[in-house]
Structure 1
């Protein structure tokens, strides 16, 4: 590549549907579930100011997965995540260790700077990622059944009749893009 600089490029499909993985900097922390009410409140405030639809979501102690659908003329999910991360961080007591590089940028050090996003390609891709989200607490050993994890849209899918309460009970290890 010679002197060219490889630049990280995010997907930018206006009105797209995206899968995200967002992690805390401390992968042993439990801030997300311990402060779930703060996370919910901040997400709701961001949604009101900058609309998007949460198609599926699971919040684990130190990371979360979500599928968002953006308005038809909008591609700015980075701004929304920035507002969510900052809003959540501002509401927590300052107890974390903050590295000099983060201090110089006036960052708290609660979240990993980057996150994973994937533009959902089609209905099959969407279904695989919804399954991955809903099975994630089981995969990580927090519960034996998806229905037992309280911080998941799985319950809404059951209420709407899209999934049954025993969904996933026979799954061994599901991964996004994998097979059942």
Structure 2
């Protein structure tokens, strides 16, 4: 098994990509209420600030800031995945390995994490998150995707409603960027 090394900075701000196992699934938006409840319950037990979040049919991106002195984002993702999975009927295909490990066949085991390093990195990842539904062809404009923190940030005056993003910068970050 590979030795995964995660960067951990107590109170840090992190960008995440979390994928469903079945990348052609729409499970996340079909069960958005269950996902929201899983996040709510996890935040109640293990608080964190949601800077940005977008949920697409088969994956999601988020930026979280953890409380001072806390670097346990993996525990939070585990709790979210577990609560979401428990809320769904057991109808998915499971491999023999997943059955042996008592795992559901819903999530990819790992997630992608990037520690935000400065204001420019933060802004670029915020834009990447909010532009993602357009990038994947789900909508023509950012404001049309309902499962995004973009609407909350428009209401707070951080983004204008008609924001379309700087595409060149948005694609230099995310899972492939630094």
State the TM-score, normalizing by the size of structure 1: 0.92
> Per-residue displacement from partner, 1:147-179 (whole Å, max 9, x unpaired)?
00000000011101111111016747831439x
Number of residue pairs aligned between Structure 1 and Structure 2: 174
Is the contact made by 1:139 and 1:173 (CA closer than 8 Å) also made in structure 2? no
- Asked whether 1:22 is paired with 2:18, we answer yes
Partner residue of 1:127 out of 112, 120, 123: 123
Question: Which residue, 62, 67, 70 being the options, matches 1:71?
Answer: 67
Measured at CA, do residues 162 and 79 of structure 1 come closer, stay the same or move farther in structure 2, by a change above 3 Å? same
SS in 2 for 1:72: coil
Query: Does residue 1:35 correspond to 2:31, yes or no?
Result: yes
Hey, what's the Cα distance between the residues in 2 that align with 1:119 and 1:14? 11
Q: Residue 97 and residue 6 in structure 1: after superposition, are their counterparts in 2 closer, same or farther (change >3 A)?
A: closer
Is the contact made by 1:145 and 1:169 (CA closer than 8 Å) also made in structure 2?
Answer: no
Pairing 1:139–2:135 present:
yes
TM-score by length of 2: 0.93
Task: Give ranges in structure 2 of 5+ residues lacking alignment.
Answer: none
Which digits, 9 at most, give the CA deviation of each residue in 1:35-81, with x for residues without a partner?
00000011000001000000000000000000000011101011100
Q: Deviation digits for residues 117-158 of structure 1, max 9, x if unmatched?
A: 000001100000000000000000000000000000000111
Report what 2:5 is aligned to. Answer: 9
Q: Judge conservation of contact 2:124–2:169 (CA < 8 Å) in 1.
A: no
- Supply the distance in 1 between the matched residues of 2:144 and 2:59 (Cα, whole angstroms): 18
Larger Rg: 1
Q: 2:84 aligns to what? A: 88
Q: Secondary structure at the match of 1:15?
A: coil
